[in-house]
A and B are shown apart, each in its own frame.
Chain A
Amino acid sequence: MIEAPDLSWAALAPLLLVFGAACAGILVEAFVPRSVRHPVQVGLALAGTVGALAATVLLAGTREVTAVGALAVDGAALLLQATIAGLGALSLLLFAERSLDPARSAFVVSAAVPAGSPRDRELATVPRVQTEVYPLATFAIGGMMLFVAANDLLVMFVALEVLSLPLYLLSGMARRRRLLSQEAAVKYFLLGAFASAFFLYGLALVYGAAGSVRLSEVRAAVGTDGGGVLLVLGLALLVVGLLFKASVAPFHTWTPDVYQGAPTAVTAFMAACTKVAAFGAILRLLYVAFGTAEWTWRPLVYAAAIASMVVGAVLGLTQTDLKRMLAYSSVAHAGFLLTGVIGLGAAGTGSGLAATMFYLLAYGITTLGAFAVLTLVRDGDGEASHLSQWAGLGARSPITAAVMTLFLLALAGIPLTAGFTGKFAVFRAAIEQGAWPLAVVALLASAVAAFFYLRVVVLMYFSEPVADGPTVGVPGVPTTLVLAVTAAATLALGIVPGAVLDLAGRAAIFVG
C-alpha cells in the first residue's frame, strides 16, 4: 500500500494557486464562450499570480522542507517566488494590452495556420484574440516558482520542463513577422531540449554517484573533496543545463535570436522571470547540494561570469536592433549576477545571496519596463525596434523617451536607480569574498555596456527625427500600469532601497 505523502498545504499555497489558475484556464478555454474568454482568462491568470504573491507574503518566515523532502519552502524560495509571481503578473498585463496593435492583440489568432497562406492573411486583420497564451504563461510561472523551491533534482528537472515548454510555444505566437517568431520558437525548442538533455544526464550521473536525488543527500555524498569524478561530471552537466536557461555565455547563443523573434511581451516575460528562476535554481544547486565543495566549482563560475560580462557588453556594442541589444544586455547582466553568486562565500556566510536576490528583482523590473516601452513605438509593420527609428524620439514623445531613459540608466547602473543599488550590492559581496579581480572586470564591462545604453539616450535626444519615423502608440490601462509600476519601482529601489535590501537580507536562508 502506498502511503499518501505528508504535504504542508499552507506552504504549498503559492504553487497551488498558480497551477490551479492555469488548470482552470484550460477549462475556460473549453467551456466559456469566446466573447467573454479574454477578460475571464486575464482575470483568472492575474488572480492566480497576485494570489500567489499575497500567499508568499503571508508565508514570510516559513522555513520547512515538505512533500517528502522534495520542496524547500525557505526565505530564499519565498522571496524568489514572490518576485516571479509579481513580475509574472506584470508580464500578463503586457500580454493583455489591446490598444496598441490595430488588430487588438500582439498574438497570432491561430498559430497552426502556415505563415503567409491565404488563411493567414485573412486572419491577420481579424480582431479576434488568442486566449490560450494566458494558461500557457501561468503554467510557465508555476514552473518557475516550483524551480526555485525544488529540493530534489528530479523535481527541479520537472519544473524546468514545465517552465520551458510553454515558453517555446509562446515564442512562436507573434502576430506580425510570424516567420521570425516561428524560427525563434524552433531554435529555442531545439537548443532548450539539448540543454535539458545535459541536465538530465548530469542528474543521472549524480544519482549514480550519490544514490539519491535529494539535495541534502547529494551534499552528504559530496563531502569536502568533491566526491569523485562521477559527481563532479554530474555537477558540470547540471550547471550547463542551468547556465543555458540563465543565458550565461557561452550558452547564450539562443538569447538574441529568441528575444528578437518572440512577441515583445513574451520576451519581457522571459527576460525578467526566467532569469529569476534560473538563478534561484543555480544558487540552490551550488550552495545546498555542492556547498561543501565550493572550491571545485568556484573557478568555473568565476570564468563563466567574466565570459558572460565580456561577451554581453562587447557584442551589445554593434547591435542595431533594440531587442537584440537588450538580449545582449541580459547576457551581461547574467554575468553580473554570477558575481553575486561568488559573493555567497564559503558555507553561504557572505551577503551574496541577498545581493543576488535584490539584483534579480531590480533587473527584472527594469528590463520588463524597457521591453514595455518597446511595445509602444510602432510603425506600419508592428514594433519599430531598429535603432535608427528611435532617432529624435525625445522631441516627438518626451514622456516615452524619458521613461525609456530611466530604464536604460538603470540597466547601465547609474546611481539613484535600482540598477546601481543592485550592482553595488553584488560587487560588494564579491569583493568581501576576495573576488576583487572579478569586480574589476565587472566594472570595466559595465563601462563598456554603458556605451550602448547611453547611445540610445543620445539618439533619442540629440538626433533629428527621421522623416517617416514610427508613431508612439497610446497604451491602454494594462501597459500604462506596467510602466508606472516599473518606473516607480526602478526609482524607489535606487533612492530608498533600504527596506528591500533588509528584506532580502532576512530572507537569505536556504533550508534542506
Chain B
Amino acid sequence: MSETLPADGLLGWSWLLIALPLAGAAVLLLGGRRTDRWGHLLGAATVATAFVLAVLCTVQLAGQDGAPADVELFTFIATGELDVTAGLLFDPLSAVFALLITGVGSLIHVYSIGYMAHDPGRRRFFAYLNLFVAAMLLLVLGNSFVALYVGWEGVGLASYLLIAFWYTRPGAATAAKKAFIMNRVGDVGLALAIFIMFAQLGTTSYAGVFGTVGTLAGGTITAIGLLLLLGACGKSGQFPLQAWLPDAMEGPTPVSALIHAATMVTAGVYLIARSAPIYDLTPTARAVVLAVGALTLLIGAIAGCAYDDIKKVLAYSTVSQIGYMFLAVGLGPAGYVAGLAHLLAHGFFKAGLFLGAGSVMHAMRDSVDMRRFGALWNKLPITFATFGLGYLALIGFPFLSGYFTKDAIIEAALDRDDVWGWVLGGVAVLGAGLTAFYMTRLMLMTFFGRARWEEGVHPHEAPPVMTAPMVVLAVGSVASGALLVSVFPLSGWLEPVFGEPAEAEHVVAPAVIGLVVTLVMLLGVLAAWLFVGRREVPVAAPVRVSPVTRAARNALYADAVNESLFMRPGQWLTRALVWVDNRGVDGAVNGLAAGLGGSSSRLGRAQTGFVRTYALGMLGGAVVVAGALLAVTSG
C-alpha cells in the first residue's frame, strides 16, 4: 500500500458522506408524521448531495495520484494500552465503492419516489434507505476492521428492516428473520476474525493489521482468512449461506435493486479485496474462496433456470454473479481488479434489471409470476428497451459491459496455467451459458409470446420519475464495461491499493476466449428459445418434470439441507437447553434472587426509622473501625 496522507481539503470533509444520509434518516425517523409530505425528497437529496461530494473527493484523490487519505474522527477510549480510535480511509478502493453506493443509491432513491408514491409507509421507507446508505458508506470508508464491522451490522439491520418493510405480510417477516439469522452466522465469523487480530496483533486498523500480519503463524493467518470468508459468505449470499438472498425479494423492489443486487451483497467482495494483504499470505484460504465462488456460481445459475418468479430469477442471478466475483478475488493479485470491475458493471446492470422488474410489477398489479406476463414489449417500451440492454450486458453480449468484465475473470482463471485453472475457467464458461439460458427464458416469458395476463390487468408504462433512473442505468450497463477496461482502466486507478498489475502470459489468447464465451452464450440463448420461446408457456407450472428441474426448483435443496443439518438439531439443542435452563439455571437464579430479596428484607429491618437505632449502628461501626485499625497496626 502506498503512503497514507493526512486528509486535507475536501477529503477532510469525507465524513459528511456518512453524516448526510444518517442525518436524513434521523430527521425522518424522529420527525414523525410532520415529515411525511417532504421526507422522501429530503431522503433523495441527502444521498444525491453525498454523491456530488463523493465525486469531488474522488477528483481530489485522483489529483494526489491516489495516495490514500486518512481522516481521524475521534478517540473513543484511550486509557493505557487500550486505544480505540475511529477514523475513515479514503483510498481508490473505497472511492470506487463510495461512487457506486451514492451513484446507484441516488438513482434508486429517485425511482422510489415514484415506486412508493402511494405507500402509506413512504417516509419510513426513505428513512431506512438513508440509514442503509450511511451504514454502507461507513462499511467501505472505515479505516479499521471495527469500523467496517459497525457498518457491516448497520447494513444488516437496514436490510432486515427493509425486507420486512411490509411487516404485516407473513412472508416478508419470515424472510427478514431468515436473512438476519443467516447473516448472524457470517457476522460471528467476521467478529471472531477481528478478535483474533486484536488478540494477536493488538490492533484492528487496516494499516496496523496489514503491516504486521506477516509476523503471525501460517495457521493463524489461514484462520483469519477463513473466518473473514465466512463473514463475506453470509453478507454476499454465497454457499453455504446463500438461501436467504432469494427470499429477501419479499422487500420492495427498489430495496432488491439497491441492497440485494448492487451494493450490500457485494460487501463480501469488498471485504476480501480489502483484506488482500491477508489473503496474499494464505493460499489455503484463497483456494477455499475459489471453491466457494465456483460452486455458488453454478448453484445460482442452475436455480435461476427453474423459477417462475421474476425477482427470484434475478436474485439467483445475483448469487451466481457474485460467485464470479468471489472466483475472481480468490485468484489473488491477478483477479482483484477483474472481480471489482465485474462488481461495478454488475451494480449497473443488475440494479437496472431490478428497476425494470419493478416497473413490470407496477404494470401488472404487483404480480411476480412470469407465467402470467407475456407480450409486454410494446406495452412498456421504455422498460423493455432498458431491461433488454441490461439483459444483454448480463449475458455478456459482445462489447456491452458484462462481455468485458466476465471475460477478464475467465482469462485470469485460465492464466493460472494448471489443471485447476482449466476447471475454474470451464465452470465460468459453463456459467455464462446457463446465464444466457435463464435470462433469455425470463425475457421470452415476460416480454414476448402471448399475453397471459390475469383478468383486469391493463399494463401501462411507469411515470418518468421511475423510467429516468432506468435509462441512466441502461446507459451505464452498456458503457461501463468498455470504460472500466479500456478508457479509464480500473487496474491503473486501483494500483495504489493492489500494486502494479503483472503483465500476464496469456495461456489462451483473449480473442479466442471471447469467441468461445460468445458461442456458449449463443448456445444458451438458442436453448432457451427452443425450450421456451417456440412453445406456448403454460399458465400453471408443469408438475411432471425431470428430477433435475425439480432439484433446480428447490434451489438444489439448500433450504432442506439447512433445515436438516442446522435447524432441526438446533431445535433439539434449544429444547434441551430450555429444559436445563428451566430446571437448573432458573432454579439457581431464582433461588439466588429469592435469597437476595430475603436478605434485603431482613437487612431492611435494621432501617427502623429511629434515630437511636441509627446512632447505635454508627457507634458500633466506629468501634469496629477503630478496633480494626488498632488490630492492623499492632498485629
Give the distance to chain B from A391, nearest Cβ to Cβ, in Å. 20
- Given A187-B611, A191-B614 in contact, is the A315-B603 Cβ separation under 8 Å? yes
Contacts of B79 in A (CB 8 A): 351, 425, 428, 501
- Given A198-B622, A297-B629, A299-B628 in contact, is the A498-B77 Cβ separation under 8 Å? yes
Contacts of A311 in B (CB 8 A): 603
Distance in angstroms between the alpha carbons of A332 and B257 in the assembled complex: 54
Tell me the residues in window 603-627 of chain B with beta carbons closer than 8 Å to chain A beta carbons: 603-604, 606-607, 609, 611, 613-615, 617-618, 620-622, 624-626
- Given A191-B615, A251-B618, A498-B78 in contact, is the A299-B632 Cβ separation under 8 Å? yes
Distance in angstroms between the alpha carbons of A106 and B604 in the assembled complex: 30
- Is A235 in contact with chain B by the CB < 8 A criterion? yes
Contact between chains at B597 and A318 (CB < 8 Å): yes
Contact flags A478-512 to B (C-beta < 8 A → 1, else 0): 00000000000000000111100100000000000
Contact between chains at B603 and A235 (CB < 8 Å): no
- Is A237 in contact with chain B by the CB < 8 A criterion? yes
- Is B596 in contact with chain A by the CB < 8 A criterion? yes
Distance in angstroms between the alpha carbons of A303 and B629 in the assembled complex: 12
Give the distance to chain B from A188, nearest Cβ to Cβ, in Å. 10
Contacts of A498 in B (CB 8 A): 74-78
Distance in angstroms between the alpha carbons of A187 and B614 in the assembled complex: 9
- Is A244 in contact with chain B by the CB < 8 A criterion? yes
Contact between chains at B633 and A226 (CB < 8 Å): yes
* Interface-side segment among A62-70, A211-219, A252-260, A466-474: A252-260
Give the distance to chain A from B97, nearest Cβ to Cβ, in Å. 27
- Given A190-B615, A296-B629, A498-B74 in contact, is the A318-B622 Cβ separation under 8 Å? no
Tell me the residues in window 109-145 of chain A with beta carbons closer than 8 Å to chain B beta carbons: none
Question: Chain A contact residues (Cβ within 8 angstroms of B): what range?
Answer: 35 or more
Distance in angstroms between the alpha carbons of A236 and B603 in the assembled complex: 25
Question: Chain B contact residues (Cβ within 8 angstroms of A): what range?
Answer: 35 or more
Distance in angstroms between the alpha carbons of A280 and B630 in the assembled complex: 25
Cross-interface CB contact of A240 among B615, B618, B630, cutoff 8 Å: B618
Residue in chain B with minimal CB distance to A195:
B618
- Is B590 in contact with chain A by the CB < 8 A criterion? no
- Is B599 in contact with chain A by the CB < 8 A criterion? yes
Give the distance to chain A from B111, nearest Cβ to Cβ, in Å. 35
Tell me the residues in window 55-101 of chain B with beta carbons closer than 8 Å to chain A beta carbons: 74-80
- Is B486 in contact with chain A by the CB < 8 A criterion? no
- Is A387 in contact with chain B by the CB < 8 A criterion? no
- Is A209 in contact with chain B by the CB < 8 A criterion? no
- Is B574 in contact with chain A by the CB < 8 A criterion? no
Tell me the residues in window 434-470 of chain A with beta carbons closer than 8 Å to chain B beta carbons: 448, 451
- Is A59 in contact with chain B by the CB < 8 A criterion? no
Cross-interface CB contact of B615 among A194, A235, A237, A317, cutoff 8 Å: A194
- Is A314 in contact with chain B by the CB < 8 A criterion? yes
Give the distance to chain B from A351, nearest Cβ to Cβ, in Å. 8
Contacts of A229 in B (CB 8 A): 630, 633-634
- Given A240-B625, A425-B79 in contact, is the A250-B603 Cβ separation under 8 Å? no
Contacts of B74 in A (CB 8 A): 496, 498
Cross-interface CB contact of B625 among A194, A236, A314, A316, cutoff 8 Å: A236
Contacts of B546 in A (CB 8 A): none
- Given A250-B620, A297-B629, A317-B596 in contact, is the A497-B604 Cβ separation under 8 Å? no
- Is A165 in contact with chain B by the CB < 8 A criterion? no
- Is B601 in contact with chain A by the CB < 8 A criterion? yes
Contact flags B583-601 to A (C-beta < 8 A → 1, else 0): 0000000000100110111
Distance in angstroms between the alpha carbons of A236 and B613 in the assembled complex: 21
Cross-interface CB contact of B599 among A195, A236, A295, A314, cutoff 8 Å: A314
- Given A251-B618, A498-B76 in contact, is the A191-B611 Cβ separation under 8 Å? yes
Contacts of A428 in B (CB 8 A): 79-80
Distance in angstroms between the alpha carbons of A250 and B625 in the assembled complex: 10
- Is A300 in contact with chain B by the CB < 8 A criterion? yes
Residue in chain B with minimal CB distance to A502:
B78
Give the distance to chain A from B273, nearest Cβ to Cβ, in Å. 31
Distance in angstroms between the alpha carbons of A198 and B622 in the assembled complex: 9
Contact flags B384-403 to A (C-beta < 8 A → 1, else 0): 00000000000000000000
- Is A239 in contact with chain B by the CB < 8 A criterion? yes
Contacts of B622 in A (CB 8 A): 198, 236-237, 240
Distance in angstroms between the alpha carbons of A297 and B80 in the assembled complex: 28
Distance in angstroms between the alpha carbons of A190 and B611 in the assembled complex: 8
Binding site for B on A (CB under 8 A): 186-187, 190-191, 194-195, 198, 225-226, 229, 232-233, 235-237, 239-240, 244, 250-251, 253-254, 256-257, 295-297, 299-300, 303-304, 311, 314-318, 351, 421, 425, 428, 448, 451, 495-498, 501
Q: List, sorted by A's number, 8 A–B pairs whose CB atoms are closer than 8 Å.
A: A190-B615, A191-B615, A250-B620, A253-B606, A257-B609, A297-B629, A314-B600, A496-B76
Nearest 5 pairs of A and B residues by beta carbon: A250-B621, A253-B614, A236-B626, A318-B600, A317-B600
